[in-house]
Structure 1
């Protein structure tokens, strides 16, 4: 073995040659014209259980989508709804928007394929609460069909791949309406699968809404109060607002929630904007002033008919009636944990990275109602079990991969937990699988290190002295790599990134209770 030396990065194992890469970023005008918060319409109607007698027949009026791979029957303790906002320039029935409507949403006529708003709503079986968990649009995921991609591009790339297959299998290369419908179905299923792979949750239901729906809903409730910390004038999104509390609606509301340029944390701050807005929108929708007003309720119904596409097996009205007693304070908004906000792919595309194991554990905490997630967070924060003094455990790390500096990064991650750094070595022939080597069976320190690195198997090596363990890193390693110390992920698809400061790593959360209007960037 030799002291760890820089190695030439190589392509991640299993990445097939010729696999489609993520589509390059669209031009700025197209990127900013997204349905970043239009999906709140679905959430508001889902959690509004009062006055639903007015909604008789609504399910039959909503556009539905068949062939979607959703539903596990709530076996995980919750009903899970995947809510997707698209940048389509059509309504739910596929009709093009009028010139007046296009002007209202402040965008061009070119249709979009991105799903820039992705929310997983978890509702415990007792209907006591609803938690909307945002997934940032730029989170990088590995899919089984299109390869690595930003999650907002999975729908469009899956649809494109389906259309390409249809053209290749047709003698004249002509596409039929059935081909188009199948491609849309494949796009939706590709996204459903990507969300499941990232979060560990298979959605029981699917809902989709376009740009116009957001404007219609906001106008239906008479506008929504928001608060900004400072004045804003950002022309790309059209956001032009003064600091403090104000009520916005229509096009201005769309600009408010879609701005991400000139914000400290980019898309993560845009998600904060969305969630602050959604919390106030749900609060207003649940208020007596809205629910007792037939005109506003009628406008909400019209917005739903014009804007929603739901899976064909969802009895939307029956589902909402089960939530008739939910309160605003029980409607929460969260964001999945991320490991970086400014990584780049090997071909220079800016991405957000996340650890699927960490995301899965985070999301699982919202399946059983209030307080459950707090217990999960407390459990995961106790990285060093009682009875182990990490300062007395020397940990050497062997890197068998071609990922430059992996041993030092993992060692740094363990040092943050208090473990004493040992030797850093490179030996490509050391092992084919990652593991922790211990001097004896049942070595408590070895199992503590294993837990800290995501549950690596523990092996016995009598040559290791007492009070020491050895970590061996192979190509299958996917555990922590010291992100908190500002070090790159183990994936060779990304490069180094700056540490997440507390203002970014600790995202604010919101609910639809209380009387305050939270101020945001």
Structure 2
């Protein structure tokens, strides 16, 4: 006959295994939940005003601000102050194509309350609120979420993911951005990725070429973050979130879930079924007087943005010229 104490020990061992499994399951489930709660508390908000429009779908206004007042990386740059060097709209329509459209910062338009000037002058004059109003005025599309990233913070995000692969098919030695590049694809650290995103003078396509490279950097970061291996590296997740959220400012109505949806939308826009590029451009050197060289959009640009809003825009529509 088996000892009477045998079964309780087996039951206790069984309960111990079950308890360990339950605890492991709780940890697996609680980690991302706890991470989301922690990350949501880290979000920095900024007043981007209220939309004056109402359009279907969801649109994110992505702005890359470039402050040279307190960043040692820009001490060689004579430009002072803060401006929006990167302006994109990421649109998820009710149906159809998700799109990522780069708006040239020098786009000539009527800034609400300030007259005709370059689009990025709106940020200098009225910060996120006026930039949002100007983008809505230009595109006719409601901006649901405003997301701003400091260009210096971009380098920290790239370093947090361990570098990203970037490609450019010509050599570059650019004094302004400090980009030194040999034609081809290279794994780039944060400083190199920042220079890659900022370089304009050495790009034969000028501002359009720069917006395409900025899209490439963000796409590379998004693809790296989507790597399933990151799910089992909680330490890197925390480092990445701290770096990313430390560089971000979002509108008051936006939270960590909205940022997650934005990341998914970005992946869709830069994927095989998405659309990315620039609006139709009539001239890259339009000189209306008083504001220097500007970018002039084609007369039919309102119809282009209408197709962005309803999801009928196609890749052939976003070459940047007509």
TM-score w.r.t. the length of structure 2 is: 0.78
Change (3 A) 1:353 1:220: same
Q: 1:339 corresponds to which residue? A: 282
Q: 2:36 corresponds to which residue? A: 55
Matched ranges for 1:139-154 at <5 A: 139-154=107-122
Matched, 1:214 2:145: no
Q: 1:137 corresponds to which residue? A: 105
Change (3 A) 1:76 1:309: same
Q: 1:366 corresponds to which residue? A: 308
What is the aligned counterpart of 1:246 among 186, 203, 213? 186
Matched, 1:273 2:89: no
The answer to which structure has the higher strand fraction is 2
Matched ranges for 1:407-418 at <5 A: none
What is the aligned counterpart of 1:86 among 51, 59, 65? 65
Q: Give the secondary-structure state (helix, strand or coil) at the position aligned to 1:373.
A: coil
Shift of 1:337: 1.6
Change (3 A) 1:227 1:360: same
Q: Give the secondary-structure state (helix, strand or coil) at the position aligned to 2:203.
A: coil
Distance in 1, Cα, partners of 2:291 & 2:308: 35
Count of residues paired in the alignment = 287
Contact 1:122/1:132 (8 A) holds in 2: yes
**Which of the pair has more CA radius of gyration?**
1
Q: 2:175 corresponds to which residue? A: 235
Contact 1:55/1:301 (8 A) holds in 2: no
- Structure 1: stretches of 5+ with no match in the other structure: 1-50, 91-96, 159-186, 378-502, 507-521
Contact 1:71/1:205 (8 A) holds in 2: no
Distance in 1, Cα, partners of 2:105 & 2:52: 23
Contact 1:89/1:210 (8 A) holds in 2: no
Shift of 1:112: 2.2
Change (3 A) 1:348 1:70: closer
Q: 1:23 corresponds to which residue? A: none
Shift of 1:76: 2.3
Q: 1:312 corresponds to which residue? A: 252
Shift of 1:111: 5.7
What is the aligned counterpart of 1:121 among 87, 90, 103? 90
Contact 1:62/1:304 (8 A) holds in 2: no
Contact 2:277/2:320 (8 A) holds in 1: no
Matched ranges for 1:255-270 at <5 A: 255-270=195-210
Shift of 1:57: 3.5
Instruction: Kindly report structure 1 stretches of 4+ aligned residues shifted beyond 3 Å.
Output: 105-111, 289-292, 321-328, 366-369, 374-377
Shift of 1:118: 0.6
Q: 1:224 corresponds to which residue? A: 164
Change (3 A) 1:305 1:320: closer
Query: Which structure carries more relative contact order (alpha carbon 8 Å, separation 6+)?
Result: 2
Distance in 2, Cα, partners of 1:318 & 1:342: 37
Change (3 A) 1:362 1:296: farther
Q: Give the secondary-structure state (helix, strand or coil) at the position aligned to 2:289.
A: coil
Q: RMSD value over aligned CA atoms?
A: 3.1
The answer to which structure has the higher helix fraction is 2
Contact 1:113/1:156 (8 A) holds in 2: yes
Matched, 1:70 2:47: no
TM-score w.r.t. the length of structure 1 is: 0.50
Distance in 2, Cα, partners of 1:322 & 1:268: 23
Q: Give the secondary-structure state (helix, strand or coil) at the position aligned to 2:84.
A: coil
Contact 1:337/1:354 (8 A) holds in 2: yes
Q: Give the secondary-structure state (helix, strand or coil) at the position aligned to 2:194.
A: helix
- Structure 2: stretches of 5+ with no match in the other structure: 1-30
Contact 2:63/2:84 (8 A) holds in 1: yes
Shift of 1:71: 7.3
Distance in 1, Cα, partners of 2:46 & 2:123: 15
Distance in 1, Cα, partners of 2:168 & 2:254: 38
Shift of 1:376: 10
Contact 1:134/1:335 (8 A) holds in 2: yes
